[in-house]
Structure 1
Amino acid sequence: MDPSSFHIAMFPWFAMGHMTPYVHLANELASRGHRITILVPKKARDQLEHLNLHTNLIIFCPVLVPHFEGLPEGTETASEIPLSANGLLAAAVDKTRKQLEEYLEAHKPDMVFYDTAYWIPEIARKLGIKTVCYNVVCAAALALTLVPARKLPITPEDLENPPAGYPSKTVVLRGAEARSLMFITMPFGDGITFYDRTVRALRECDAISIRTCRELEGDLCDYMEAQFNKTVLLTGPVLGLGDEKDKLEEKWAKWLGGFEPRSVVYCAFGSQYILEKDQFQELVLGFELTGLPFLIVLKPPMGCDSVEKALPQGFEERVRGRGVVFGGWVQQPFILRHASVGCFVNHCGFGSMWESLLTNNQIVLVPHLGDQMLNTKLLVNELKVAVEVEREANRWFSKESLSKAIRSVMDAESEVGVMVKKNHAKWTRTLSSPGYMSGYVDRFVQSLEDISK
């Protein structure tokens, strides 16, 4: 092995939206000759192994997650619990500290990448191991809320205004959206808030890294450097393009193949968010109202065992032949690239945001959480490549507002649809241009070499 290669240990937050980007980055690093050990629970390993393109250089090391009171027995990942229980999972993950310490002492990797495990630098520093706090959320989510310029204690009124020096006028939250960020003041672990955990994780590392690019968030990354007085390394989107070893499942390929090109509306809200039953029903009725073919992939709503049991009366009969609501897992990248799909309705999680930008599909956004709202502002207000579904003050969206948003981008004569399509095409060309993605990773690796000296 090349003596200049690294051995990097990775310890991401145990949620698929965090672990999957870490595996994508591991593939990029392994393709350049570096060894990676990804420390995750066994259930997560089983879900992620198919993404490993370099089994000779990337290995998964299982972490045993101890039980923490309030969590269902055997809980290992965030996708197994409601969002409200994430703080308890954080406390359970903190109890794996001894396992991480033993691994690092035994194997002494050159670097450790982590995100929420704020205690990693304390262990690594004693062993002479460099630490990189690798964040898979947008720079805006960090810069707006999780910086020293936010004076404690944080109140709902404080969150109505950006911190001192925040550089963007458009990627901001107001009113109820801003107040939704109060979760950062809540416990996330035993005796620590989400704000304190994240700021400590960012402050204590040797280098901060963010899964973004300067073209989208350069000013926000510069702000983060100034706030924490340390280097911020960018990896680019790192989407794992080509990481899939399979092809689209036959039943979905056959179903999608029965429709005209660019006519199907695909909807997904990520692996963890669960809608209330009445909002779920309003959503599916909104798709019915569009008159367009659709595929909706969502978890069953609260209080329901299956999506089928939650559907409005008569819905399945009315949309049979043009609409499907599915409660399981699908190969989203393949669906988004299918010729029949023309619109992606999503929650604007950071992964979905990048997937949206790299396809030719129109984008309709229904954000639920604070970071998703900021991603939405970036796409809607800054880049003007998407539309957001209008909501009432209590964050409810109606079937009419959802249908209106979808029709506004899918109707050929729509001025809004033409505008966002034109802007979207420009960004897709930039992001998919030869050497764009690989250039970011190459520069990232060079920066790692610099900090390791």
Structure 2
Amino acid sequence: MGNDQEPTMRCCQDIVMFPWFAMGHITPFLHLANKLAEKGCRIKMLLPNKAIQVIHHLNLHPHLITFHTIAVPQVEGLPLGTETASDIPISLAHLLAIAFDRTRDQFQATILHSKPDLVIYDLAHWVPALVKPLGIKSMSYTVVSAAGIAILLVPARNITKDKPITVAELSVPPPGYPSSTVVLRGHEVQSLLFVAQPFGDNGVTFYEKVTTSMHQCDALAIRTCSEIEANLCDYIGSQYGKPVFLTGPVLPELSTNMPLEDRWATWLGGFEPGSVVFCAFGSQLVLDKDQFQKLVLGFELSGLPFLVALKPPTGSSTVEEALPAGFCERVKGRGMVWGGWVQQLVILSHPSVGCFVSHCGFGSMWEALMCDCQIVLMPHLGDQILNTRLLADELKVAVEVERDENGWTSKESISKSIKLVMDKDSEVASTIKTNHTRYRQTLTTQGLMSRYIDKFFQNIQDLVRQK
């Protein structure tokens, strides 16, 4: 017999991650990187310097996860120093997308030097064309809900520059959509038309960017689980003709190393269990002053204790200067409006918090599902609207604040929704609590989330081994 040894089977050890320059994308990429590092993977994340400064403390494995700085090119109309979506109003996101696409040369230089086994990305639709000739696998990782992709960004929509989608077409699910309960309202459809607008260099549209990313990669990954969105994931896979790998929600674990700040621990500790309403709309959303005032007046009208964490509204440098006249005096002792960052996940786990009023961004959606609070939803942007359809219409674990045909809400409708879910004698409150409890118990089953990561890790190993 000869001494020839069997060739070593290729495995996925080195990964490059390149998320869209928004914290709602970057943070879940890092959470996934932490999980893969636990399996021994080496990960290089390509990020702007500002983003690195914000999230570096979340890197649990600095010996395996490294950050590589990407310089964000200057684009006409983009404010000087812009590096992430948090630096600009949403109306300028298309300019950041142009700058993002113009980092292509930096990405390519890094790949040629690093020679990873796999690249995980989302909106950089040009990644597969760059890495495939090098024998490197690529994976499109969706960090928004499968519901959002399945109803808006599938080939069945067939949106082109020559034939932009109409309000009527977008008002109905695409062909083959596996649900009949999702109904988009007029004002919501208007906000979803952005998919046909330019969102990158050379006039590429958002729809083209996403569908190209998903068409040309080797596999799709989605930050979800089959217990919530199995039929929607199957639909996406059939639309794109790709394997779909699920990571689970990949949320950071609460630990004794993450105590609640004394300010909030003391304040929340002064109220009865399950009595406080907590409201947060993420790091990017900025309300106009009228919307902001209606919101806080709605909390006042509810009569319940509340903690609201929002960015200052348009035209105001602080939340305090935007509050309605006499508001602070009227809610003193039971209401707090805060304009800075808060520990959302830790606050949601506090026993005094009984209701979460959310914009239903995807990270907040998972945190809401995993907590023990009642859920009230006030979506504002595209994926938030579709996430809300999933929670309120499909899963029936939340109540959405009513809006008129123009999309406007009132302090009365905000108060009504809060009191509805907080009323222990309400049939609606009882139903959504029962449904929420069922899903929460399923999602928090011992070992469930680790099994998703184990399976995902095996999936990427198998993917890399394919010729």
Task: State TM-score, norm by structure 1.
Answer: 0.98
Which of 250, 263, 272 is the matching residue for 2:275?
263
- Aligned counterpart, 2:3: none
Tell me which moved more, 46-55 or 234-243.
234-243
The residue that corresponds to 2:135 in the other structure is: 128
User: Compared with structure 1, are the counterparts of its residues 321 and 380 closer, same or farther at alpha carbon in structure 2 (3 Å cutoff)?
Assistant: same
Change in CA separation of 1:183 and 1:243 when aligned onto 2, cut-off 3 Å: farther
C-alpha displacement at 1:171, in angstroms?
3.0
What SS is found at the alignment partner of 1:157? Answer: helix
- Post-superposition CA distance 1:372-405 (Å, at most 9, x none): 1111111111111110000011111111100010
Where does residue 155 of structure 1 map in the other structure? 166
Question: What are the equivalent positions in structure 2 for 1:36-435 lying under 5 Å apart?
Answer: 36-152=43-159, 153=163, 154-190=165-201, 191-242=203-254, 245-435=257-447
Give the Cα–Cα distance (whole angstroms) in 2 for the partners of residues 443 and 80 of structure 1: 36
> TM-score if structure 2 supplies the norm length?
0.95
Aligned residues: 452
The whole-number CA distance in structure 2 between the counterparts of 1:442 and 1:185 is 37
The whole-number CA distance in structure 1 between the counterparts of 2:208 and 2:171 is: 20
Is the 1:5–1:35 contact (alpha carbons within 8 Å) kept by the matching residues of 2? no
| Mapped contact 1:140–1:220 kept (Cα < 8 A) | yes
Q: Quick check: 2:197–2:206 contact (8 Å CA) kept in 1?
A: yes
How far apart in 2 are the matches of 1:413 and 1:122? 58
Query: What whole-Å deviation, never above 9, does each CA across 1:217-237 have from its counterpart, x for those lacking one?
Result: 111111111111111111111
Deviation at 1:172, TM superposition (A): 3.9
Matches within 5 A, 1:3-18: 4=11, 6-18=13-25
Write the distance in 2 (CA, Å) between the matches of 1:172 and 1:225.
23
Q: Distance in 2 between matches of 1:384 and 1:298?
A: 26
Partner AA of 1:126 in structure 2: P
- Structure 2 gaps of 5+ residues are 1-8
CA distance in 2, matches of 1:398, 1:238: 35
- 1:437 maps to a residue whose letter is M
Counterpart for residue 30 of structure 2:
23
Alpha-carbon distance change, 114 to 327 in structure 1, aligned in 2, over 3 angstroms: same
Which AA in structure 2 matches 1:142? Answer: I
Pair 257,3 (structure 1): closer, same or farther in 2 beyond 3 Å: farther
Match of 1:35 in 2: 42
Q: Aligned-pair distance for 1:417?
A: 1.1
Q: In structure 1, how many angstroms separate the alpha carbons of the residues matched to 2:326 and 2:254? A: 41
> Structure 1 residue runs of 4+, over 2 Å off?
2-5, 242-246
- What's the CA shift string for 1:263-290, capped at 9, x where partnerless? 1100001111111111110100000001
C-alpha distance after superposition, 1:160-211 (max 9, x if no partner): 1211111111234232222321100111012111111111111110101110
Opposite residue 330 of structure 2, the aligned amino acid is R
Secondary structure at the counterpart of residue 214 of structure 2? helix
Task: Letter of the 1:10 partner, please give it.
Answer: M
Q: 1:138 to 1:244 in 2, by over 3 A?
A: farther
Report Cα offsets for 1:69-107 as digits up to 9, x if no partner: 111101000011011111100100111111110100001
One-letter amino acid matched to 1:370: G
Identity of aligned residues (%): 58
Give the secondary-structure state (helix, strand or coil) at the position aligned to 1:149.
Answer: helix
Partner Cα distance (1:3, 1:205) in 2: 19
